[in-house]
């Protein structure tokens, strides 16, 4: 298939809307990551999303809508859900809500709840306006790969497989939306994102975070969100997280780097912008990539998936990555990094 990559002009948006209405797939930018959209009410179109991504059918999709009024056709909205929407939507928040029968069960993997999101990105909103349809859209990556934060990333994974990618430039948030389960009591964050627990608690003080966001599932444990079952965001090479006192982390990263190099591997250190110079000073030969500023975690969120893709492009076999405290935006970053690393963590405070 010939894949068109178009700037989001009026004409391109109309073309995208007609494709969606004809049951085709369109990739489009949102403020979090790029989405791979289809008409949520068209089962065959939704099935095409799963096959284009190679996504397991038991991993449900998020439905994107223009506003609360459109959401109401698809799910039951509690007073609490409405208050959250008033406060945070449009924006990077997805709510799990009791589903109405109109939603084909393929979209939400037959669960009683459906994931609803009102995106803030002007191109996503313009596309929703142009079709008037609810758009089912997972992240527009091949299943298991890091989510796409530029149109070029989408092209790498889905070029030749889908008819159209709308190019809206790099995504502002860079990590997928916060997913909040409103069908559990208390409401529970099952995927942390840019809307943090603290922000949600200003509207609903009872909001908690599922403890499984930072650990692997125990064998036989049922995931709070099916997406958590799968190896995700992972680069092709190995990724190890290195935690501990900053100077010990630096020493250990450099020691592991040299060890990897001696074994003939292509190795990289992933460090915060503030630490790059120190690595370079101590070992001019070490190849270090910045994952963003420790002082500004939002820059790490913006960079993270692009950096993980760079590792693959450079044929990196082993990466050693600094970590940050799992609070606020740091929790979303550590949730993605832990999965990308398959939970492999080195404690630099402990002697080897």
- Residues lying near Mg ion in the complex (CB under 5 A) are found at 139
CB of 133 to Mg ion, least distance (A): 21
If the CB atoms of residues 59 and 299 are measured against ligand TXA, the closer one turns out to be 59
Residues of span 58-77 touching ligand TXA by CB under 6 A: 59-62
Could you please report the per-residue DSSP string of 57-94? Answer: TTSPPEEE-SSHHHHHTTBPPPHHHHHHHHHH-SSSEE
Position among 40, 48, 118, 179 found at the interface with ligand TXA (CB under 6 A): 179
Residue 194's binding partner among ligand TXA, Mg ion, none (Cβ under 5 to 8 angstroms by kind) is none
- For 267, residues 6+ apart whose C-beta sits below 8 A from its C-beta are 256, 257, 260, 261, 287, 316, 317, 318, 319, 320
Q: Which does 322 bind (CB under 5 to 8 A by kind): Mg ion, ligand TXA, none?
A: none
CA 222 to chain centre: 21
> Closest separation between CB of residue 103 and Mg ion, Å?
19
Strand partners, 281: none
The answer to whether 136 and 46 are in contact (CB under 8 A) is: yes
Is 15 or 96 the residue whose CB approaches ligand TXA more closely?
Answer: 96
Q: Does 136 bind ligand TXA (CB under 6 A)?
A: no
- C-alpha dihedral, 126 to 88 to 338 to 326, nearest 10°: 150
Of 75 and 130, nearer to ligand TXA (C-beta) is 75
Residues in Cβ contact with 184 at an 8 Å cutoff, skipping those fewer than 6 apart: 224
The smaller minimum CB distance to ligand TXA, of residues 191 and 309, is found at 191
In the complex, minimum distance from the CB of residue 198 to Mg ion, in angstroms, rounded to a whole number? 24
Q: Which is nearer to Mg ion, 177 or 243 (CB)?
A: 177
Q: Which is nearer to ligand TXA, 13 or 62 (CB)?
A: 62
Query: Are 5 and 120 in contact, with CB atoms under 8 Å apart?
Result: no
Nearest residue to the partner ligand TXA, using Cβ: 227
Quick check: 168 binds ligand TXA (CB under 6 A)?
no
Cα(75)–Cα(69) distance, integer angstroms: 11
Instruction: Tell me how far apart the alpha carbons of residues 20 and 27 are, in angstroms, rounded to a whole number.
Output: 10
| Shorter beta-carbon distance to ligand TXA: residue 12 or 114 | 114
Residue, CB closest to Mg ion: 139
The region of 56-64, 153-161, 252-260, 326-334 touching ligand TXA under the rule CB under 6 A is 56-64
- Is there binding between residue 117 and ligand TXA (CB under 6 A)? yes
47 scored as a contact of ligand TXA (CB under 6 A): no
Three-state secondary-structure class, residue 305: helix
Regarding 301 and contact with ligand TXA (CB under 6 A), the answer is no
Q: Is 338 in the site for ligand TXA (CB under 6 A)?
A: no
Determine, following the binding rule CB under 6 A, whether residue 134 of this chain makes contact with ligand TXA.
no
Sign, CA torsion 139/144/150/156: negative
Asked whether position 227 contacts ligand TXA by CB under 6 A, the answer is: yes
Sole residue written with tokens 């499984």: 212
Q: Which sign, positive or negative, has the C-alpha torsion 267, 140, 89, 110?
A: negative
How far is the CA of 22 from the CAs of 3, 4, 39, 52, 161, in angstroms? 16, 16, 9, 17, 16
In angstroms, what is the minimal distance from the CB of 251 to ligand TXA?
36
Q: Please, are residues 289 and 320 in contact by the beta-carbon 8 Å criterion?
A: no
**Cα–Cα distance, 162 to 155 (Å, whole number):** 9
Binder of residue 121, out of ligand TXA, Mg ion, none (CB less than 5 to 8 A by kind)? none
Please pick, from the candidates 42, 157, 167, 176, the single residue that binds ligand TXA as defined by CB under 6 A: 176
Q: How far is CA 162 from CA 23, 49, 132, 166, in A?
A: 12, 10, 21, 11
Binding site for ligand TXA (CB under 6 A): 30, 32-33, 35, 59-62, 94, 96, 108, 111, 113-115, 117, 137-139, 176-177, 179, 191, 225-227
């Amino acid at each position: 298939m010939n894949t068109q990559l178009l700037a989001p002009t009026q004409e391109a948006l109309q073309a995208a809307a007609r494709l969606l209405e004809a049951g085709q797939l369109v990739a489009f930018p949102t403020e979090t990551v790029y989405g791979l959209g289809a008409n949520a009410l068209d089962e065959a179109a939704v099935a095409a999303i799963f096959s284009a991504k190679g996504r397991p059918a038991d991993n449900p999709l998020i439905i994107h809508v223009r506003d609360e009024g459109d959401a109401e056709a698809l799910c039951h909205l509690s007073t609490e859900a409405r208050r959250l929407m008033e406060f945070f939507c449009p924006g990077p928040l997805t709510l799990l809500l009791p589903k109405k029968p109109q939603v084909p069960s393929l979209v939400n993997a037959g669960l009683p709840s459906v994931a609803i999101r009102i995106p803030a990105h002007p191109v996503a909103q313009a596309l929703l306006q142009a079709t008037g349809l609810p758009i089912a859209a997972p992240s527009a990556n091949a299943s298991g790969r890091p989510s796409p934060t530029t149109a070029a990333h989408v092209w790498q994974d889905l070029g030749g497989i889908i008819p159209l990618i709308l190019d809206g430039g790099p995504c502002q948030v860079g990590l997928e939306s916060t997913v909040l389960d409103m069908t559990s009591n208390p409401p529970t964050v099952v995927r942390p994102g840019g809307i943090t627990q603290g922000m949600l608690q200003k509207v609903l003080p009872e909001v908690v975070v599922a403890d499984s966001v930072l650990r692997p599932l125990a064998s036989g444990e049922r995931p709070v969100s099916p997406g958590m079952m799968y190896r995700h965001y992972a680069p092709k090479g190995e990724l190890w997280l290195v935690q501990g006192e900053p100077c010990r982390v630096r020493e250990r990263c450099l020691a592991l780097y040299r060890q990897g190099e001696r074994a003939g591997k292509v190795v990289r250190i992933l460090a915060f912008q503030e630490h790059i110079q120190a690595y370079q000073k101590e070992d001019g030969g070490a190849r270090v990539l910045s994952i963003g500023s420790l002082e500004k975690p939002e820059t790490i969120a913006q960079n993270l998936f692009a950096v993980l893709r760079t590792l693959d492009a450079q044929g990196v076999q082993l990466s050693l990555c600094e970590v940050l405290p799992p609070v606020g935006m740091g929790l979303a970053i550590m949730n993605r990094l832990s999965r990308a690393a398959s939970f492999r963590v080195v404690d630099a405070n402990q002697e080897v």
